[in-house]
Structure 1
Amino acid sequence: MTYIEADVKDVLLCFPHQPDSCPRVHRFSVLKFMMYAFMLVTIFMTVFGNLLVIITISHFKQLHSPTNLIILSLALVDCMMGCLVMPFTMVRWVEGCWFLGDFLCQIHSSLDMTISIASILHLCLVSVDRYVAICEPLQYRMKVTNSKIAVCLATIWLFSLSFGFGIVLSKVNALGLDTVVTPCVGYCALTFNKEWSVIGSLLNFFIPGTIMSCLYLKIFCVARKQAKVMSERTAVVKPCETSHSSEQRERKAAKTLGIVMGFFLLCWLPFFMANLIDPFLNFMTPVDVFDALIWLAYFNSMCNPLIYGFFYPRFQRAFKIIISRYVLRLSDANNLIL
């Protein structure tokens, strides 16, 4: 037996009885255990955190506002990410194989793209809502109503579904890649040609991200001006205390907006930069690097409840009531006030 034959026999395949099967990834057992443990914790926190937001907003009528309707829909999107997408992506990354067939691969890829786009567009809609609320407060109730928000959310869902499933099922993203990418049995990954990598990245990240950045920058400037006006009006009465409170408000506004944009860019920018550049580099990005960037993007779905839900005092009180009354079964939970 030659050395070449020995090497071929030593290669683990996703489907050993199929000659055109993809090779299985070799990983140490300790590494596989650590990867599964980390990703399972991420999935659990994503599902639990977003479910808590959904239950809280649905349960308390005081939270039924246009802003919270967006947060509710965002939590639903991120919860779907944790339930329908992340578990299957986890197995595919760790094992290096897709075991569920080509049809379910297409469904998974479509859902992955659809939910990712919907999550980003929801965050963009949140920034628009906050902009109107802070920069045009007198017109907010007239401009932003539950019915208008419902139309915007329906449009986001329709666009995300059309784009995600349309791209995958039509396979326009893979036109001209037959000689570059040769998928084997057990392979399940979205590969974009140069045209669609640019179109997809612009429509689904760079344009919404630019809108968010501009709006939050404007919000910060307006909030800073409002804080200065308030401090000037009351400076005659308590000059020292007013100056200190004004500085606190400015720092809090900067901190909040910095956290919002920081997490968004940290999670999504690396993936979309790689997705945009990789086709022009002849797909030289290692598979593990791409999968790591995908999970960094998924991490945003886990952080969204922390940023857009748990961050606000009214939500915190609502969470305490929900957990105390229905999880811990505490009798004094009925005395808590939202």
Structure 2
Amino acid sequence: SFLRQQKTIMSRDDLTPPGAVQLCYENVNRSCVKTPYSPGPRLLLYLVFGSGAVLAVLGNLLVITSILHFKQLHSPANFLIASLACADFLVGTTVMPFSMVRSVESCWYFGDSFCKLHSCFNGSFCYSSIFHLCFISIDRYIAVSDPLIYPTRFTSSVSGMCIAFSWLLPITYCFSLLYTRANEAGALTCVGGCQVAVNQNWVLIDFLLFFIPTLVMISVYSKIFLIAKQQARKIESLSNKTATSSDSYKDRVARRERKAATTLGIAVIAFLVSWSPYFIDSVIDAFLGFITPTYVFEILVWIAYYNSAMNPLIYAFFYPWFRKAIKLTVTGKLFRQNSSTINLFPE
């Protein structure tokens, strides 16, 4: 559950000699215990976590810029991808930098108000990514199952509604939940921590909001790959026969849509691998009294965070148009006149 993503060490003083105990805020009652790393590991952790945040910001900014700038990329499906990249970009700017300080310093120095806001950002953008990926999988299913009819079914207005739903529902849920305190379990927290107490009912709701879209994605992509297999067999059977130009065009369109579905399927798998351990641990931990060691919880959190940096790498590896867009941006050609009409799909 994202609501427990700010777990703080409050009982490490039994592992530290009394004279060596450090507090997040000296001379403050109920201050959290501080467990700092030595200089070497501390620097290494800042480099690892910081590089993840930078990659998430720059990579997703390139995706957003490419899709919005080049007219050839203006399609309902690509707008969904750009909106997904926006969610990952916001994770890199509003969530990861502050979580980095919390993880390395073992204290929260940004105040109680921003703690709650930070938790809202984390949950909102996480669930937004889930819903985006769910709608993208449905989009790919329509495109692969009937590629010629697809443009009339998944229009810009449909894409806009999917994007609006993917943002409004998570933001409404997370902010209303935390600011009405409906989730609280009545636990006390220490000063200098950012722990949001949750009850078991809300932990289950959080998990269902992750599990149901995940189940839809797995089901849809299973159907996609079955259809792709059937289409491949059909193309192979026609290879020794004389195909009409209409059949040839349909095959090319189907092949392109299958490739896009495969790439986005890999993005879905990467998301599930990154976030599933975190959500599963959150549910189990809530019913066992939150016994997961803090360092284990932090590892799971950062594996999940790093997913925001993975999608641009997947696009760069599988999409030639994205590699060309990156080259045009880095070399400054993006700022030339009429650059938005450059052909990114050379035959």
TM-score by structure 1 length?
0.86
Shift of the 84–60 alpha-carbon distance from structure 1 to 2, 3 Å rule, reads same
- The counterpart of 1:120, out of the listed 125, 130, 139, is 130
| Aligned-pair CA distance for 1:256 | 4.1
Are 1:80 and 1:115, in contact at CA under 8 Å, matched by a contact in 2?
yes
Alignment of 1:90-129 (within 5 A): 90-129=100-139
Matched, 1:25 2:25: no
- Which of 250, 262, 267 is equivalent to 2:269? 262
Correspondence for 2:169 among 155, 159, 163: 159
How far the C-alpha of 1:334 sits from its partner, in A, is 11
Contact 2:69–2:340, Cα closer than 8 Å, also in 1: no
Give the whole-Å Cα distance in 2 for the aligned partners of 1:15 and 1:113.
28
Q: 1:88 aligns with which of 68, 74, 98?
A: 98
CA contact (8 A) 2:23 2:32 kept: yes
Distance change in 2, residues 1:262/1:152 (3 Å)? closer
Q: Deviations over 1:23-66 (max 9, x none)?
A: 10132211111110101111111101001111111110110000
Q: Cα distance, 1:257 vs. partner?
A: 6.5
CA 1:230/1:337 → structure 2, altered by over 3 Å: closer, same or farther? same
RMSD: 2.9
Structure 2, unaligned runs of 5 or more: 1-13, 243-254
Q: How far, CA to CA, are the matches of 1:256 and 1:310 in structure 2?
A: 9
Work out whether residues 115 and 160 of structure 1, in 8 Å CA contact, stay in contact via their aligned partners in 2.
yes
- The answer as to 2:310 corresponding to 1:300 is no
Instruction: Give yes or no for the alignment of 1:313 onto 2:323.
Output: no
Contact kept, 8 Å, 2:22 with 2:34, in 1: the verdict is yes
Q: Distance in 2 between matches of 1:218 and 1:133?
A: 12
Q: Provide Cα deviations, 1:109-156, integer angstroms capped at 9, x if missing partner.
A: 111111111111111111111111111323311211111111111111
Cα deviation, residue 286, structure 1: 1.1
State yes or no: 1:197 paired with 2:207: no
Whether 1:76 and 2:86 are equivalent positions in the alignment is yes
Output the TM-score relative to the length of structure 2: 0.84
**Mean Cα displacement is larger for which, 303-312 or 107-116?**
303-312
Runs of 4+ in structure 1 off by over 6 angstroms are 251-255, 333-336
Separation in 1 of the partners of 2:304 and 2:207? 14
Preserved contact between residue 71 and residue 341 of structure 2 (Cα < 8 Å)? no
* Residue 211 (structure 2) aligns with: 206
Distance 1:308 1:150 in 2: 22
**Higher RCO (CA < 8 A, seq sep 6+):** 2
Using the alignment, how far apart are the partners of 1:310 and 1:323 within structure 2? 17
Give the 3-state SS of the residue equivalent to 1:81 in structure 2: helix
Q: Which amino acid aligns with 1:144?
A: F
Mean Cα deviation higher: 158-167 or 317-326: 317-326
Residue matched to 1:50: 60
* Structure 1: 5+ residue stretches without partners: 238-247
Is this contact kept in 2: 1:321–1:336, CA < 8 A? Answer: no
**Secondary structure in 2 matching 1:158:** helix
- Aligned equivalents of 1:271, 1:172: Cα separation in 2: 22
Task: Report the structure, 1 or 2, having the larger helix content.
Answer: 1
Contact 1:118 1:156 survives alignment (8 Å)? yes
Q: 1:257 to 1:152 in 2, by over 3 A?
A: closer
Instruction: Compare 190-199 and 256-265 and name the one that shifted more.
Output: 256-265
- Asked if 2 retains the 8 angstrom alpha-carbon contact of 1:220 and 1:253, the reply is no
Identical columns (%): 41
CA distance in 2, matches of 1:285, 1:191: 15
Match of 1:245 in 2: none
**What per-residue deviation string (whole Å, max 9, x for no partner) do you get for residues 169-209 of structure 1?**
1222223x43xxx3100110334321111111111x11111
The one-letter code of the counterpart of 1:322 is T
Distance 1:334 1:122, change over 3 A: closer
CA-CA distance at 1:14 after TM superposition: 0.4
Aligned to 1:16: 26
1:325: how far off?
2.9
What is the rounded CA distance, in whole Å, between the counterparts of 1:256 and 1:141 in structure 2?
20
Amino acid of the structure 1 residue aligned with 2:308: S
Q: How far apart are the structure 1 equivalents of 2:82 and 2:264? A: 20
- 1:287 and 2:294 correspond: yes
- Is this contact kept in 2: 1:53–1:309, CA < 8 A? no
